[in-house]
Structure 1
Amino acid sequence: MKKMPKTNAMRQLDSQKIDYCVHEYPHHGQEAVDGNEVAQLLGIDPACVFKTLVTRSQTHEILVYMIPVNTKLDLKKCAKAAQVKNTEMVPVKEIQSLTGYIRGGCSPLGMKKKYRTFIDQSALKQNHIVFSGGKIGIQIEMDPQALIDVFHVTPFDLVFD
């Protein structure tokens, strides 16, 4: 069995000595796999599987949001969380140049630059959450409180009710 190469996200967790598990799922060379499908492939409740979304505020600040895969991002709530007037999704073609990751493999950890990051408050109800490990087919499972405490991720209500 060959050893999986570490992603930037894994290296960042290792450098902080944070416990995590890595899950792999088959993606058959596809670009991105829908988050609900990832949850199904891993046999994990979609409320515990988080997707990473990248936005830009009216002041051009890049902001990162993590929400459960079975929910939709509420941009008004995102703006409120970040205390900006408004924010909009970054076009897919810009994600790699901003984060170092491709769509479907965008981890909130190990991006090219440190961006303010927010997580839906529902994460606080979970013992563990799962999110992209920085590569399509790789997911990281860890305690959401460690993510909040060590990486200064802000919990906030971010999704449509």
Structure 2
Amino acid sequence: MAKSKIQKTNAVRLLDQQKIAYSLREYDINEEHLDGVTAAQEIGEPVQKVFKTLVAKSMKNQLYVFVIPVAKELDLKKAAKVAQEKKIEMLHVKDLLANTGYIRGGCSPIGMKKQYPTYIDADVSAQTEVYVSAGKRGLQLCMTPDNLKKAARAEIVDITVEI
């Protein structure tokens, strides 16, 4: 378990409570480049190991969380199908904090205000360890795919398209 002077986020506290193994990686952020590919470069890891957290909503305003590789895009049709919805759209960034407790560039699939249905892209299965936001900009969690699935209470599904 990571024990350091880094300010604990909801995600980190939840992992500690559940005794799920992880490590933390800090990096310098650039407000103009909050994307996941930049985060991967900053921590020196290949983009295949770094995942971003996206939040979408159905036409009935049900929220869903999708965790996908940073160099891929969410396929909204596949995402709607796994969520058993006719159609979903991305949650507007201005609504992210109020619904999840996290901000753009620091949204973790772990420790949101509420537990939303969560789906991790099947690419996660090809990795021995993956990185996701720890719940604040400039801080990444590293863990096994199984630990991520357990902590996020997620299903592993095919939900991406190549960019």
User: Above 0.5 in TM-score?
Assistant: yes
Q: Deviations over 1:92-121 (max 9, x none)?
A: 000000001110000011111110100000
Task: Report the 3-state secondary structure (helix = DSSP H, G, I; strand = E; otherwise coil) of the residue aligned with 2:161.
Answer: coil
Q: Deviations over 1:64-98 (max 9, x none)?
A: 00000000110000011111111100100000000
Q: Normalising by structure 1, report the TM-score.
A: 0.94
* Rounded Cα–Cα distance in structure 1 between residues aligned with 2:51 and 2:127: 11
Q: Deviations over 1:23-49 (max 9, x none)?
A: 001015x27622111111111010110
How many corresponding residue pairs?
159
Checking the alignment, whether the CA contact within 8 Å between 2:100 and 2:112 is kept in structure 1 is: yes
In structure 2, the partner of 1:25 is: 27
Q: Normalising by structure 2, report the TM-score.
A: 0.93
Task: Report the 3-state secondary structure (helix = DSSP H, G, I; strand = E; otherwise coil) of the residue aligned with 1:9.
Answer: helix
In structure 2, the partner of 1:116 is: 117
Q: What's the offset of the Cα at 1:148? A: 1.7
In structure 1, the partner of 2:79 is: 78
In structure 2, the partner of 1:146 is: 147
Return the structure number with greater strand share: 2
* Rounded Cα–Cα distance in structure 1 between residues aligned with 2:29 and 2:100: 22
Judged with a 3 Å threshold, the aligned counterparts in structure 2 of structure 1 residues 101 and 58 are, in CA distance, closer, same or farther, namely same
Q: What's the offset of the Cα at 1:54? A: 0.4
**What's the RMSD between the two structures over aligned residues?**
1.4
Task: Report the 3-state secondary structure (helix = DSSP H, G, I; strand = E; otherwise coil) of the residue aligned with 1:41.
Answer: helix
Checking the alignment, whether the CA contact within 8 Å between 1:32 and 1:136 is kept in structure 2 is: no
In structure 2, the partner of 1:95 is: 96
Consecutive unaligned residues of structure 1, counting only runs of 5 or more, are none
In structure 1, the partner of 2:64 is: 63
Q: What's the offset of the Cα at 1:59? A: 2.1
Q: What's the offset of the Cα at 1:147? A: 2.1
Identity score, percent: 46
In structure 2, the partner of 1:6 is: 8
Consecutive unaligned residues of structure 2, counting only runs of 5 or more, are none
Q: What's the offset of the Cα at 1:142? A: 0.3
